[in-house]
Amino acid sequence: MGDLARKLPIAQSGVSRHLRILKDAGMVESRTEGQRRIYSLRAEPFEKLSEWLGQYRRLWENRLDQFELELERQTAASPPRVELGRKTAPKKPNSRRTK
Amino acid sequence: MTEQQVIERVWKAPIDLVWKLWTSAEGIASWFGPAGFQVTVDEIDLRPGGTFRYTMGATDPEKIASMEKAGRPVSWAVESTITEVDPPNKFVYDSPMGPETMTTSAEFTEGPDGVKLVLIIGATKAGMTGGAAMGWESSLDRFAEQLA
């Protein structure tokens, strides 16, 4: 902890307080060696963050699949609609039928 | 503490259609909700500082039943702030996720193979307190449920 306090522009008591908060949150762990308190980072919360974002990645991969389907539906929708119109409502036979 | 995920896709489609589908209320409603959920866009104000608010609701009866049983709401609103709009190329917004902020950035470019999307989702975390950790966990659960 003394090493950290020397490198940071805050008082040792401030460093101690910050480390305690990080420890309560499970971000760091500590052990004592004689008069010294040694802090180290815990890997787990970092892994959790990346796991959490990984869930978003999967959510977005699904979303993008749906986006792609909708895009295909919309790009396919316009040309057939024109052709369909030609087949079901032909102008010549129509006019022949009405008159 | 910042984490990012990058996803890329290429689509053969006009870029204006991609943009419309990505940024219009009707467009978003057609693809944004995960399976079993329907998204309704309540507001999308396409300008920096504009609001993007949607309501996500479960539509699958089984999902609704299990969520009600677990005491979870079956629909909820998400309000994000749009930070960048450059039609038809760039759309970025920030969403609150508990005490954290998630940034979703979509960039579209036209190339020989079609429209290329580069999607970047990033979470920024500054210090995690006990309460934040709990919010974190509940978001995780909620999203796991959406993915199920």
For chain B, how big is the Rg over CA atoms in Å? 17
What does the block give as tokens for B39?
Answer: 């998204």
For the stretch B34-72, pLDDT in tens is 888 999 999 999 999 999 999 999 999 998 999 999 999
Q: Is B37 on the interface with A (CB under 8 A)?
A: no
Select the residue of B32, B102, B127 nearest A21 (Cβ to Cβ). B127
Closest residue in A to B123 (Cα) is A53
Over range B3-14, report the average pLDDT. Answer: 92
Q: Is B10 on the interface with A (CB under 8 A)?
A: no
Got the DSSP string for B51-120? Answer: EEEEEEEE--HHHHHHHHHTT--SEEEEEEEEEEEETTTEEEEEEEETTEEEEEEEEEEEETTEEEEEEE
Q: Is B5 on the interface with A (CB under 8 A)?
A: yes
Indicate yes or no: CB of B147 within 8 angstroms of CB of A55: yes
Query: What confidence tier does A14 reach under pLDDT thresholds 50, 70, 90?
Result: confident
Q: Is A14 on the interface with B (CB under 8 A)?
A: no
Cβ-contact B122, B109 below 8 angstroms: no
Number of residues assigned to chain B: 148
- Helices B15-23 and A43-88 cross at an angle (nearest 10°) of 120
CA distance linking residue B4 with residue A50, whole number of Å: 8
- The burial class, CB within 10 Å (0-12 / 13-18 / 19+), for A36 is exposed
Nearest one of B69, B62, B64, B44 to B54, comparing CA atoms? B44
Q: Chain A partners of B24 at a C-beta cutoff of 8 Å?
A: none
Q: What is the pTM of this model?
A: 0.66
Average pLDDT across chain B, whole number: 86
Select the residue of B1, B27, B143 nearest A55 (Cβ to Cβ). B143
Alpha-carbon distance values, B28 to A74, B22, B137 (Å) = 13, 6, 27
Nearest one of B72, B39, B43, B74 to B56, comparing CA atoms? B39
Nearest one of B98, B90, B127, B35 to A25, comparing CA atoms? B127
Q: Is B139 on the interface with A (CB under 8 A)?
A: yes
For A11, residues 6+ apart whose C-beta sits below 8 A from its C-beta are A5
Query: What confidence tier does B87 reach under pLDDT thresholds 50, 70, 90?
Result: very high
Q: Is B117 on the interface with A (CB under 8 A)?
A: yes
Mutate: best of B105, B108, B147, partner A, most A CBs <10 A: B147
Output the CA torsion sign for A5, A7, A8, A10. positive
Secondary structure (3-state) at B6? strand
For the stretch A21-34, pLDDT in tens is 888 888 889 999 88
Indicate yes or no: CB of A53 within 8 angstroms of CB of B7: no
Indicate yes or no: CB of A70 within 8 angstroms of CB of B123: no
Select the residue of B31, B129, B133 nearest A67 (Cβ to Cβ). B31
Q: What is the pLDDT of residue A81?
A: 44
